[in-house]
Structure 1
């Protein structure tokens, strides 16, 4: 059979149609939006100019990340497929405050930004990044371990707190708190105080008189759930007798090591969520606020409507809040299959980290989240990465340092 050749002009037309179809197929028929991103300056600043701005758009359904740095002043124009996005931004700022010129780094974050229609507008608040002058959370071991028989073992969780500065710091009075809200359950809490304070389900304080527990630059200390040799009961666990402090609750079956000072439970007892659904902060209470005054003046009463089975049930709770200005470091934890939101202000942490990809992931046991090292000095002192974005700052599913 002979093949009949198409005239050259018809061949070109067919190729053009095929290329057009191919282009449509590449976009999978997704409509495009012309997006205008506008930066909202930090409060109380004037004469603001930006430099080295870079924005990242992550589409939540596909995971595709689009980056751009073509800003004109406070605005950027970009074309994106319709979808739901996480938007983050980093850069530098020059400004005036109280009559003085200054420079700083800035960052911003916004979750669940729905982009639809031929044109879309997005506003994004940016925040000043403060210079690190206190401790950081170096590691959280929240998953626990399993016994040789495969049973869940309790009591061997811990926090590792690091002096990331060039001066001696005192652990005395340091607050560690677990979030009231879960990163896997977003509700419309009223009043919403997240921009001003952290809602805490448990608050514990390091004991001491102010200069009892010095921590040298580049050194760390461990706060253990139970400061005992867990290997005696579970060979897959760790010896935590060298911990600096431990959590302890009286009138329970909690184990107490009398050789290790107990954390003071200021509000509730620290029961560390072993799937990583809650977040943690460390903070310092101002010298003008006593513990008694805190328990009197910093309560947080909130309400929300729990929707279940098509019915709405009014709910409420009374807990405590920690002002964001007291907080020196934060880490949001979650799990990919269940993540809904971060439960800190983005100025504290605009990302999250994890152990386990799904809820109740059996592979999470014996893993921790560990902060990355930014650099190491000639004397061996590490500088840990701290961009206020746990997604970037932490290694997820890491080997716990106490297992090394």
Structure 2
């Protein structure tokens, strides 16, 4: 009997050791990683302290964050090897910006490394240099690009819109404000190449440019108010060819519409002013931006029609795209097809450091900027860190002027 018990104990020990060995073999090694962040070269200091660094795994969508120390170093422990979207951001108040820049103006700073691969047993670190822009002004508040279909799902509705909000404390004028979609595929397949303009960090390249009319002070936007530029300014919910689950963009909602005068299909609402076509080489029947994810900017230029037009490097296509300097861009947003499409970003990091994506096309989802809180007289202040990843959220249904 004693011998049998000894054999049983021996077997149990062997099984325990085997299970332990299997568990050890199946464990995925984690990585401790450091990110060093520095201020722009024009700043009086190099090491950037107090910067929030966030790493988001492109597969699991889990995020890990850390804040840089006085040496500008953030340490992130226990990361799984894989593909990550790395975002660094820091808000400087006017008082904080003065000794660093020489100007008493609040600044948003950011940097990113998209589709950054962290390997197992890696001891390397990542270096990021911040870019910045002034706080306040006009921003994209909502971008509805995914669209909807007719109830039977046979036709696509022309119901995209772009809402622009006055995030400042002063009256701003929409006159001569330009809206443009930027060249570059949103990456609907892994075979898509990044735009050939991606290496130019000082300019964005527009596929189409539309401008708001006016004499300079025709269309004021009060603080805390917004304007809507509609693809087609009708009530798509009640239109006979529409969808009750779409959106009302008719009179009283839309402030401007993009009407393609050469089209035989586009609808012109006489109650809503038309945008001026500055550069529309191939408008088609309608002006429609990518339903898989457009990259959009608003900008002002004294003579936008005079901006250079260039061919995309690395391609044989002869299509020309309008070059818009970063200095003229007021706000920009980048939307792509999915979580792993970060290497297909189209906007320079100085304009926008991240990207967002909808779960599908023609599903009614919309991109809405996150609220930061209330200012004077109950005016909503929207978050604007020049980082679409952090600044926007996906909502199940469009909410113009809500």
TM range (shorter): 0.7 to 0.9
SS in 1 for 2:113: strand
SS in 1 for 2:193: coil
> Aligned partners of 1:385, 1:293: CA distance in 2, in Å?
33
Contact 1:86 1:111 in 2 (8 A): yes
Matches within 5 A, 1:1-400: 4=5, 22-27=23-28, 30=29, 35-69=33-67, 71=69, 73-78=71-76, 80-91=79-90, 96=99, 104-116=107-119, 118-132=122-136, 134-184=137-187, 187=193, 189-190=195-196, 192-230=198-236, 231-233=238-240, 234-236=242-244, 237=246, 238-242=248-252, 243-253=254-264, 254-268=266-280, 269=283, 271-273=287-289, 275-285=291-301, 289-294=302-307, 298-305=308-315, 314-336=316-338, 339-340=341-342, 341-357=344-360, 361=361, 364-377=362-375, 379-400=377-398
Going from structure 1 to structure 2, the CA distance change for 1:98 and 1:110 (only over 3 Å counts) comes to closer
Contact 2:298 2:331 in 1 (8 A): yes
Match of 1:311 in 2: none
Contact 1:144 1:274 in 2 (8 A): no
> Aligned partners of 1:23, 1:220: CA distance in 2, in Å?
58
The Cα offsets for residues 346-377 of structure 1, whole Å up to 9 and x where unpaired, read as: 222222223324xxx4xx43332111222134
> Aligned partners of 2:106, 2:224: CA distance in 1, in Å?
27
Q: CA deviation at 1:335?
A: 2.4
Q: CA deviation at 1:190?
A: 4.7
Going from structure 1 to structure 2, the CA distance change for 1:124 and 1:7 (only over 3 Å counts) comes to farther
Going from structure 1 to structure 2, the CA distance change for 1:51 and 1:76 (only over 3 Å counts) comes to closer
> Aligned partners of 1:101, 1:249: CA distance in 2, in Å?
44
> Aligned partners of 2:207, 2:193: CA distance in 1, in Å?
16
SS in 2 for 1:154: coil
Q: TM-score, normalised by structure 2?
A: 0.82
> Which one has a larger percent strand, Structure 1 or Structure 2?
1
SS in 2 for 1:50: coil
Structure 1 gaps of 5+ residues are 306-313
Contact 2:87 2:111 in 1 (8 A): yes
Aligned residues: 381
CA root-mean-square deviation: 3.4
> Aligned partners of 1:81, 1:174: CA distance in 2, in Å?
45
> Aligned partners of 1:378, 1:191: CA distance in 2, in Å?
42
Contact 2:47 2:70 in 1 (8 A): no
Contact 1:304 1:315 in 2 (8 A): no
Going from structure 1 to structure 2, the CA distance change for 1:228 and 1:189 (only over 3 Å counts) comes to closer
Q: TM-score, normalised by structure 1?
A: 0.81
Q: CA deviation at 1:131?
A: 0.9
Contact 2:204 2:323 in 1 (8 A): yes
> Aligned partners of 1:299, 1:343: CA distance in 2, in Å?
17
Contact 1:369 1:398 in 2 (8 A): no
SS in 1 for 2:321: strand
Q: CA deviation at 1:86?
A: 1.6
> Aligned partners of 1:222, 1:102: CA distance in 2, in Å?
29
Going from structure 1 to structure 2, the CA distance change for 1:332 and 1:379 (only over 3 Å counts) comes to same
SS in 1 for 2:135: coil
Q: CA deviation at 1:214?
A: 0.8
> Aligned partners of 1:403, 1:97: CA distance in 2, in Å?
38
> Aligned partners of 1:104, 1:204: CA distance in 2, in Å?
29
Contact 1:375 1:383 in 2 (8 A): yes
